[in-house]
Copies of this chain bind each other. A is one copy, B any other.
Amino acid sequence: MAKVDTSLVAHLPLFAGVTPEALDEILREARSARYPKNSAIFEQGAGAQSFFLLLHGHVRAAKTSPTGEQIVVRYVAPGETFGLAMAIGATRYPATAIAVEDSVVLIWPISAWPRLVERFPSLAANTLQTVGTRLQESHTRILEMSTQQVEQRVAHALLRLAKQSGKKLDHGIEIDFPISRQDIAQMTGTTLHTVSRILSGWESQGLVESGRQRIILRDPHGIVVLAERNADSGPA
């Protein structure tokens, strides 16, 4: 099996406090795989057999209701873990994961988790940390959905994406993976129509530049003004 270069992942939060030798041992249990754009990595409801670490690309985690409506739970950026069903004791994946770009992931069999945690307790601590952080972010999202109107929510969502996965350009920050109006709608609890109207508005104000699955927050004003539009949010 092709070895994974430890130096590429050693600095990740997941492996904080793990010695190089231990890391090596951990990585030996994983295999890597490549998922082409738009392919599913796992489906909601399927038996959870693995957990994942994204090395390259971007992954969308989406949750579907019994009636077929869907939300985007989050976008996974390189270095982040996903599909942690086992950590919470679930036997099935609670969401679907789709590669939105050609992506490379590390895959551990779920059966390796108990053993790894026993040998390297910091794995559990680190995972607890990231899951806890995500819980907080969820609460913030609920707060926003409860108290802000759509335009503010979209502004905030884009700012977060820019922060997480923004590529700096000379005239602004581009969200570094393909994302549609529909996706943004599913992140903010609205419809693609409304998102389209909002972005059109911002575009005509010179705040953003956007096209098919492409969004750029323009630098002089875009970022500042959008941030002000939620005259409330603190540091993300």
Contacts from A to B (Cβ < 8 Å)? 63, 65-67, 69, 71, 73, 84, 87-90, 94-95, 117-118, 121, 124-125, 127-129, 131-136, 138-147, 186, 189, 231-234
Name the distance in Å between A182's Cβ and chain B's nearest Cβ: 13
- Beyond the given pairs A71-B142, A146-B189, 14 more chain A to chain B contacts, judged by CB atoms under 8 angstroms and listed by A's residue number, are A65-B147, A65-B232, A69-B147, A88-B128, A88-B129, A88-B133, A89-B132, A117-B121, A118-B121, A131-B131, A131-B132, A135-B138, A138-B139, A142-B142
Which residue of the partner chain B has the closest CB to A145?
A: B145
Knowing A65-B143, A186-B146 are in contact, say whether A125-B117 is a contact too (CB < 8 A).
yes
Are B94 and A139 interface neighbours, CB within 8 A? yes
Copies of this chain assembled into the complex: 2
Instruction: Give the distance to chain B from A201, nearest Cβ to Cβ, in Å.
Output: 22
Q: Which residues of B contact A138 (CB under 8 A)?
A: 135, 138-139, 142
Chain B residues, Cβ within 8 Å of A125: 117, 124
Q: Which residue of B lies closest to A124 (CB)?
A: B124
Chain B, Cβ-Cβ closest to A94: B136
User: In the bound complex, how far is the Cα of B136 from the Cα of A73, in angstroms?
Assistant: 10
- Contact between B143 and A63, CB atoms less than 8 A apart: yes
Could you tell me if A146 and B71 are in contact, using CB atoms closer than 8 angstroms? yes
How far apart are A52's CB and chain B's nearest CB, in angstroms?
A: 15
